Amino acid sequence: MTTPATAYLAGPMRGLKEFGFPAFRRATKILRDRGYTIVSPHEMDEAAGYDWSGFTGHEDLAEFNFNLTERLTEDIHAIGAMDAVILLDGWSNSSGARAEASFAWAVGKPVYLFEEGNRINGFTNRLLPISKGLLISIACGDPVEWEG
């Protein structure tokens, strides 16, 4: 399997503590340490002036001038410049991440599921290719693995 040089990181954010940033930060670091160029929406939000530190996930985002249409449009533009999209765990429960994956598939970009190393899989980080059109995380093909 050919691995992407540049990738957009997609995953659940709204409704999660601190907007899911801890998971995005962790995956971004792991992937960058492996040589990938990663564009992450958590960094895009921070650059736009959003700070979700201390958020519980139950806040009304409109009170913070968060415009989902603007943010998702910016995310889609970023995906257009990437080689691939990498999905975080829980992506299939996120309408935004599903939209990002669907866009990538529609324009012919590969989509991968990032499986972070854990005790069950022997602490092996993997990128599992996801077949076009699946909205559940079923791996297809040979994974790219590394210790981490």
pLDDT digits (tens, 9 = 90+) for 40-94: 999 999 999 988 888 998 888 888 898 989 999 999 999 999 999 999 999 989 9
pTM of the model: 0.81
pLDDT the model gives residue 147: 42
Nearest to 25 by CA among 52, 64, 55: 52
Reported as a pLDDT band with limits 50, 70 and 90, residue 128 is confident
pLDDT for the residue 129: 74
| Residue, of 148 and 131, whose pLDDT is higher | 131
Q: What is the pLDDT of residues 18-28, one digit of tens each?
A: 989 999 999 99
Domain boundaries, the chain: 1-17+33-68, 110-148
All residues at 6 or more sequence positions from 53 whose CB lies less than 8 Å from its CB, including other chains: 18
- When pLDDT is averaged across residues 106-116 and rounded to a whole number, the result is 89
CB atoms within 10 A of CB 148: 13
What backbone torsions phi and psi does residue 11 show, to the nearest 5 degrees? 180, 180
What SS3 class is residue 9?
A: strand
